[in-house]
A and B are shown apart, each in its own frame.
Chain A
């Protein structure tokens, strides 16, 4: 809830829901927090019913800490493991129909822009690999081609975890899963390339065992989506149940997968670089020194 739009008269704060007061007094609402401060503030996502050792939950926690403006952020999801955690966060979450997320987010972000103009209301889609690459594929690609301004995050556990371990389009070729009894017969879908082709202004792949990197890509994706265009983050968030990864080896697996086939990658358009440097002071995207020398110092 926006801190700028609604101001409580002195003495009335206590009538606000406890959840909200906690977020203001002890959480990230109205102040900057970082993943490096985890454990020292109340998080947007605390309790959840996810399996022990779930890498996806860690990623969602990190992502929510990284939202640049959590009190004005609305998340959109669909069926899948992720929504079981996201729905327990202290920020609004839309859970509509199967694979409808990028359609819903298109209407939501356009509607919010009509009502609030330039005041940022960040819309973030966060769904699983099946929800996006399979059942939500058309809506996702079309939202990118239409240049809808919101961030899309794939929680890629390479399987339908919530329904009990079936093959998805993002499963690796050869993997034996339910509904793929002889092993998956085609390659993992290359959503990263498709995001670039479809016109995303920012595309990144990450694994959750580097919190600062997760924070960095989430922030960039949300900020760029405000004004430049669609953004896409594909996060490897292993399913330790369906892939039988021992709980204490989940991070080790993430590291191995990162080294093997999920290397960190970041694609950013020139327009997005310029936007981040000019609007949000990203030094890494400032013009090269030679060009900068020509600009008088303020």
Chain B
């Protein structure tokens, strides 16, 4: 630094010398020098913010899912969802803030700014958002949205009507407590409301699942013989806000676009010959027609849910994954974050000399009934840990394998209201189930098997 410049040294409001070579350097209100450099005025070429998005190359789902090279990133669930949407050729996305989903949908806003998503806005509330998703899906474009807990319930009327209208779309549910009392903590009770809508529901264990299930969900949702919305649930915070390793394809490739003409029902773009919706007196009010039409339509919606199995097998490698089930002393059946806790519990059990298998349920609708019947045929003890009070998974598992397994089923442990699930609770249920010693933590009951304890059955029914 030259003598003359040194003589001109200025200080910031804290009295520290400003050592920059630029005498006119500015400081922010905190007194920190502003170090960003403005672009030279002579260069008047604006960088196209959509430049990268425009260069994206379209690939087949098969290449995207099975062949494209992947790199490993350490990212949050919200970031994983963003990266999945970036590669999914999404046309339209509508956001409304609710914890813990807000970060996901604001990151989709970033994608909109970059041109990866063509249309995006912040809706008025979830009823309006889910209704607008219905409108956009009817227009024939690929749609994505996300919500959580109370937002899911606020939007449930339109959400529950998506399958009946046969609207392909993808909604992500970052599960949280449903009020009251008010809380924002993780608890996946909202999944129980989604299970009976007629939509396809996947449950992601971690960031990788979230990334894969979203992308694959779009493709499955738009298959002609499916034409249904797909919900991808994950446990809030545990997955959305925590980081995990995600193997991702390069961002320069994307899935093929939605082809509106492929749907099982025509989209409402006025490009199909119009049909009068009801030609006779009001269908909905005519007793005979109303029963008939609604009954067969419900059957068709659920048949479409069933037909998605082959695509879940094709793209996701099955509705479940199973590890060390054969010959195990006990089997843990879980979905979502409870799977991650189960893995650790299995390790602790192994230290105690107990061999425990794991069945991870990825698809809740369709529910893996044949898979569970086969995998649990010889099981002695099944333990089902869940992040909710009502044990929606245990109910489904018990109903699915009833008559096909003699296993004792433990509907627990349960944590809810935002509790974490100490793995020792799962271990306790396993050891308690094997020894017959009742757990002190949570209700434990055998509801089937050779020695049915009626008191235990009553206890089970009371607690699910």
The complex places the Cα of A197 from the Cα of B121 at a distance, in Å, of: 21
Instruction: Name the residue of chain A whose CB is nearest to the CB of B129.
Output: A103
CB distance from B117 to the nearest CB of A (A): 11
Q: Is A95 an interface residue (CB 8 A)?
A: yes
CB distance from A291 to the nearest CB of B (A): 36
Segment at the interface with B among A113-121, A214-222, A257-265: A113-121
Are B281 and A49 within 8 A (Cβ)? yes
The complex places the Cα of A49 from the Cα of B281 at a distance, in Å, of: 6
Q: Is B34 an interface residue (CB 8 A)?
A: no
Q: Is A17 an interface residue (CB 8 A)?
A: yes
Instruction: Name the residue of chain B whose CB is nearest to the CB of A5.
Output: B271
Are B271 and A107 within 8 A (Cβ)? no
Asked, given contacts A49-B282, A104-B131, whether A114 binds B118 with beta carbons under 8 Å apart, the answer is: yes
CB distance from B457 to the nearest CB of A (A): 40
The complex places the Cα of A110 from the Cα of B142 at a distance, in Å, of: 12
User: In the complex, what residues of B have CB within 8 A of residue A76's CB?
Assistant: 135
Are B277 and A106 within 8 A (Cβ)? no
- Choice from A16, A108, A138 contacting B136 with Cβ under 8 Å: A108
Q: Is B133 an interface residue (CB 8 A)?
A: yes
Q: Is B68 an interface residue (CB 8 A)?
A: no
Are B119 and A138 within 8 A (Cβ)? no
User: In the complex, what residues of B have CB within 8 A of residue A138's CB?
Assistant: 124-125, 127-128
Are A107 and B268 within 8 A (Cβ)? no
User: Within A1-58, which residues are at the interface with B (CB < 8 Å)?
Assistant: 1-2, 5-6, 16-17, 19-20, 23, 47, 49
Interface string of B128-150 (1 = CB under 8 A from A): 11111111111111010000000
User: Within B274-288, which residues are at the interface with A (CB < 8 Å)?
Assistant: 274-279, 281-282
- Choice from A1, A87, A91, A96 contacting B278 with Cβ under 8 Å: A87
Q: Is A249 an interface residue (CB 8 A)?
A: no
CB distance from B108 to the nearest CB of A (A): 15
Q: Is A281 an interface residue (CB 8 A)?
A: no
Are A139 and B128 within 8 A (Cβ)? yes
Interface string of B87-98 (1 = CB under 8 A from A): 000011010000
Are A87 and B277 within 8 A (Cβ)? yes
User: In the complex, what residues of A have CB within 8 A of residue B274's CB?
Assistant: 1, 19-20, 23, 90-92
The complex places the Cα of A106 from the Cα of B131 at a distance, in Å, of: 9
Are B135 and A107 within 8 A (Cβ)? yes
User: In the complex, what residues of A have CB within 8 A of residue B143's CB?
Assistant: 107, 111
Segment at the interface with B among A66-74, A171-179, A181-189, A267-275: A66-74
Are B139 and A97 within 8 A (Cβ)? no
Interface size on A, residues (CB 8 A): 49
The complex places the Cα of A219 from the Cα of B220 at a distance, in Å, of: 42
CB distance from A160 to the nearest CB of B (A): 16
CB distance from B168 to the nearest CB of A (A): 12
User: In the complex, what residues of A have CB within 8 A of residue B131's CB?
Assistant: 96-97, 100, 103-104, 107, 139
The complex places the Cα of A71 from the Cα of B273 at a distance, in Å, of: 9
Are B141 and A104 within 8 A (Cβ)? no
Are B270 and A115 within 8 A (Cβ)? no
Asked, given contacts A49-B281, A107-B92, whether A115 binds B141 with beta carbons under 8 Å apart, the answer is: yes
User: In the complex, what residues of A have CB within 8 A of residue B92's CB?
Assistant: 107, 110-111, 114
The complex places the Cα of A95 from the Cα of B282 at a distance, in Å, of: 13
Asked, given contacts A96-B131, A96-B161, A103-B129, whether A91 binds B270 with beta carbons under 8 Å apart, the answer is: yes
Instruction: Name the residue of chain B whose CB is nearest to the CB of A74.
Output: B268
**Residue of B134, B158, B269, B281 ringed by the most chain A CB atoms within 10 A:** B269
Are A92 and B268 within 8 A (Cβ)? yes
Q: Is B260 an interface residue (CB 8 A)?
A: yes
User: In the complex, what residues of A have CB within 8 A of residue B269's CB?
Assistant: 74, 112, 115-116, 121
CB distance from A235 to the nearest CB of B (A): 22
Q: Is B380 an interface residue (CB 8 A)?
A: no
- Choice from A71, A88, A104, A109 contacting B270 with Cβ under 8 Å: A71
CB distance from A175 to the nearest CB of B (A): 26
Instruction: Name the residue of chain B whose CB is nearest to the CB of A93.
Output: B277
The complex places the Cα of A90 from the Cα of B137 at a distance, in Å, of: 21
Are A142 and B282 within 8 A (Cβ)? no
User: In the complex, what residues of B have CB within 8 A of residue A95's CB?
Assistant: 277
Are B128 and A103 within 8 A (Cβ)? yes
Are A106 and B276 within 8 A (Cβ)? no
Asked, given contacts A2-B271, A92-B274, A97-B161, whether A84 binds B282 with beta carbons under 8 Å apart, the answer is: yes
The complex places the Cα of A185 from the Cα of B265 at a distance, in Å, of: 46
Asked, given contacts A103-B128, A139-B124, whether A1 binds B139 with beta carbons under 8 Å apart, the answer is: no
Q: Is A212 an interface residue (CB 8 A)?
A: no
The complex places the Cα of A87 from the Cα of B279 at a distance, in Å, of: 8
Are A2 and B275 within 8 A (Cβ)? no
Are A2 and B165 within 8 A (Cβ)? no
Q: Is A98 an interface residue (CB 8 A)?
A: yes
The complex places the Cα of A107 from the Cα of B94 at a distance, in Å, of: 9
Q: Is B272 an interface residue (CB 8 A)?
A: yes
Please provide the 4 A-B residue pairs with the shortest distance between their CB atoms, ordered closest to farther: A111-B139, A107-B135, A103-B131, A107-B136
Interface residues of A (CB under 8 A from B): 1-2, 5-6, 16-17, 19-20, 23, 47, 49, 71-74, 76, 84, 87-98, 100, 102-112, 114-116, 121, 138-139, 142, 146
Q: Using A5-B271, A103-B123, A103-B127 as known contacts, list a sample of 8 further A-B pairs with CB atoms less than 8 Å apart, ordered by residue number in A.
A: A19-B273, A90-B276, A96-B165, A100-B134, A111-B92, A112-B139, A115-B269, A139-B128
* 9 residue pairs from A and B, CB less than 8 Å apart: A20-B274, A49-B282, A96-B134, A100-B157, A103-B127, A103-B134, A107-B92, A110-B119, A111-B140
